Structure 1
Amino acid sequence: MPIYQAEKITKQELKSTELGKTLLEKVTPKKELNKLAQFYIENYLTVTGNERFKTCGNYFEFLTNRELSVRKVHKSNSCGNRFCPLCTWNTAKKDAIKISVLLQAVREEKEQEFIMLTLTAPNCSPVNLKDEIDKFNKAFKKLFDRRNVKKVVNGYMRKLEITTDQEPKITKELYKKKQAYFKKRGLGENDSNPQYNTYNPHFHVILAVNKSYFNDTKIYISRDEWLEMWQECMDDERITQVDVRKVRSSEKSENGAVLEIAKYSAKGNEIYHSKAVFDVFYRALKGRQLLTYNGIFKEYLAKFKKGELDKYKKKDENEYTHLLQSFWKTSKYENVLRQLSKEELEEYNQRAKFIEESNEI
């Protein structure tokens, strides 16, 4: 195999390219966050686990072209830890493609429509978070064991998400975000925040239903009915909101639902806010199944894993002619570009045929 000369690519050369933007705006910040996270997680991991976490993302290989206008991850050293910012991001990108394929296949082959359901409850204290999630899981099972729900729901995909409020005072941004909540309590900017250091677990759920569901008043479940049932299952009348909406067949509506389910269970700026906050998230999320599939979606997930749904994956039409190798050095990536050999060109482009990661996340 002939050896093609490699050349270093500077940060300035990367800035205006598609691949450069990915490295500088997405990968690098997550690698920097990984450096912070390793100090938070070190007491929970073995010596080997700590080393894997610390060196995660130290090396990437991207398939690209000479102009760096196309990109695809070819290789990387990943630790696989769910609390690693880089691995969480990679998982979310892959989940987005998987969920998108499942929706398309189920819609076409089983003639299903979809509903986006969000179930929440009032915030809880850090010490009660684990118990609150357990309560959510039990209430969710009760809800979907109800006769009227079982009658119409043919399957679901469910994601657990947790948010936290770590603002002691009501900032301008926070007031704008939760204006109705603060107005109701007579609170304004710079007042003490009553939700400071509280946590909000909630479920994002995509439901599969028959097309006739939306036109059949005998089986249709209204938003108020969902709310009443969720209150009863949670045994909590303080719950005042559930969000229920049809997922339209439009790309915008479906992509929105996909991203709600595929995104992180905890935002990076929240889970890595401080060591104390990280400890709360870690103890609450460790060992839990964050994304679950039921019914028709579980059936089609098995098909996806066997490659039986590959026809629904978008085909990658790009031609990759070069390989960019990125090495983490202290606080940035150093990058070397080389042309693919004739053998690599054929092998790597064939391997890159189907898109495996979403660029939306």
Structure 2
Amino acid sequence: MIEHQVFTDLTKNGKPRPWKKNKLDNLTYAEYLLMLNYRKATNVKDCGNVLRFKKTKDGFLKLYQTWFCKSRLCPLCAWRRSMKNSNQLIQILNEAHREYPNGCFLFLTLSTKNTYSDTLKPEMQKMGRSVSKLFQYKKISKNLLGYVRSTEITVNHDDGSYNQHMHVLLFVSSRYFKGSENYISQAEWTKYWRKAMKLDYQPMVNVEAVHPSKSKNDLLAGAKETAKYQVKSADYITDDKQRDLQVTDDLEQALSHTRAISYGKLFKTIRKKLQLEDEDDLVNTDDPNEDSVLTDAEIVVAKWNYELQNYFIS
């Protein structure tokens, strides 16, 4: 009888990386795409089947070769994309703070009323246009140094509606907190967002200030919130297959040709300067803590076993 060695990939904190869970969710997602007659279903199923790693000098694994489908809802790709965006964003924020040590960070959440499948994509497009308009208002733009934004969609399984909301991390000059002519209260942010969106109701808006020298954990949390998945797989992989199929189809249509994350002003300049622009490279997550020189490192190959539903060392 052949013995199979289960593959394990640990973080430096000793926590197992969720390769197995994300691959299992990937296979469910691929099954849904096949049932919905999406041509990419086979490609999605093959995502991350063979993983090739190199061992770093301290014994950890660094992925150096595999094939990712890059479908927006693929749990494997979404996980890797979230890691990449988070690691890149931390580097950008650190550089921004180095260039403007007196600058301050704000975490802004912008939302609108829930919508349904037929209006989800138009509402997301409207939000994208409106947030650009928001940052052009004089009181906002005069102290805004840089920003990064992402849109998250959550599913209300009770009525089949969707909530689209935007996470924005803003970097503002120190003048922002000096005087009513510069400072923008939550009520004012709400007024400006309502104006930009041309709404006939008061939208949900939340704004919080964070400062890296006082609370690095808060800034890290804000970065991770901005860079996280657009849609959690738990929203379209549940115990109700028929509902899951409808949600998957709705989200596929809504997310088609959209950006997961966007940078503006100083953040966009720094991202280009640091050469962090290859969004399609999900093998390299741009983790500054990982070793980059691995030419002669030991190679570890993990292959997905469909029968045993896990990765095993090849």
The bucket for the TM-score relative to the shorter chain is 0.7 to 0.9
> Which residue in the other structure is 2:60 paired with?
70
Q: Mark the CA change 1:314 to 1:290 in structure 2 (over 3 Å): closer, same or farther.
A: closer
> Which residue in the other structure is 2:46 paired with?
55
Within the candidate set 206, 218, 231, 1:266 is matched to 231
> Which residue in the other structure is 2:216 paired with?
251
1:38 lines up with 2:30 in the alignment: yes
> Which residue in the other structure is 1:324 paired with?
300
1:161 lines up with 2:152 in the alignment: yes
> Which residue in the other structure is 1:290 paired with?
260
Q: Distance in 1 between matches of 2:203 and 2:115?
A: 15
> Which residue in the other structure is 1:221 paired with?
184
TM-score, normalised relative to structure 1? 0.73
1:1-361 matched pairs, under 5 angstroms? 10-11=5-6, 14=8, 22=16, 26-42=18-34, 45-46=38-39, 49-64=40-55, 70-111=60-101, 112-166=103-157, 168=158, 196-249=159-212, 250-273=215-238, 274-305=244-275, 314-316=288-290, 322-330=298-306, 331-336=309-314
Deviations 1:46-97 (A, max 9, x none): 4xx443321111111233379x962322222212222211111111111111
Query: What is the total number of aligned residue pairs between the two structures?
Result: 291
RMSD over equivalenced CA pairs, Å: 2.9
State the SS of the aligned residue for 1:10: coil
State the SS of the aligned residue for 2:87: helix
Which consecutive segments of 4 or more residues in structure 1 shift more than 4 A? 17-21, 317-321
Deviations 1:158-215 (A, max 9, x none): 101111111x3xxxxxxxxxxxxxxxxxxxxxxxxxxx21101111011111123223
Q: Distance in 2 between matches of 1:81 and 1:202?
A: 21
Question: What letter matches 1:244 in structure 2?
Answer: V
Q: Distance in 1 between matches of 2:118 and 2:265?
A: 34
Q: Mark the CA change 1:83 to 1:122 in structure 2 (over 3 Å): closer, same or farther.
A: same
Q: Mark the CA change 1:44 to 1:251 in structure 2 (over 3 Å): closer, same or farther.
A: farther
State the SS of the aligned residue for 1:229: helix
Which of structures 1 and 2 has the bigger CA Rg? 1
State the SS of the aligned residue for 2:16: helix
State the SS of the aligned residue for 1:94: helix
Q: Is the 8 A contact 2:175 2:182 kept in 1?
A: no
State the SS of the aligned residue for 1:334: strand
> Which residue in the other structure is 1:173 paired with?
none
Q: Distance in 1 between matches of 2:61 and 2:16?
A: 9
Question: What letter matches 1:38 in structure 2?
Answer: A
> Which residue in the other structure is 1:186 paired with?
none
State the SS of the aligned residue for 2:123: helix
Q: Is the 8 A contact 2:73 2:233 kept in 1?
A: no
Q: Mark the CA change 1:231 to 1:74 in structure 2 (over 3 Å): closer, same or farther.
A: same
Q: Is the 8 A contact 1:157 1:292 kept in 2?
A: yes
Q: Which deviates more from structure 2 when the two are superposed, residues 155-164 or residues 228-237?
A: 228-237
Deviations 1:284-315 (A, max 9, x none): 111012211111111111112179xxxx9744
Q: Which deviates more from structure 2 when the two are superposed, residues 223-232 or residues 125-134?
A: 125-134
Q: Is the 8 A contact 1:8 1:335 kept in 2?
A: no
Q: Is the 8 A contact 1:70 1:318 kept in 2?
A: no
TM-score, normalised relative to structure 2? 0.83
State the SS of the aligned residue for 1:22: coil
Q: Distance in 2 between matches of 1:146 and 1:65?
A: 49
Q: Which deviates more from structure 2 when the two are superposed, residues 141-150 or residues 293-302?
A: 141-150
Q: Distance in 2 between matches of 1:238 and 1:85?
A: 35
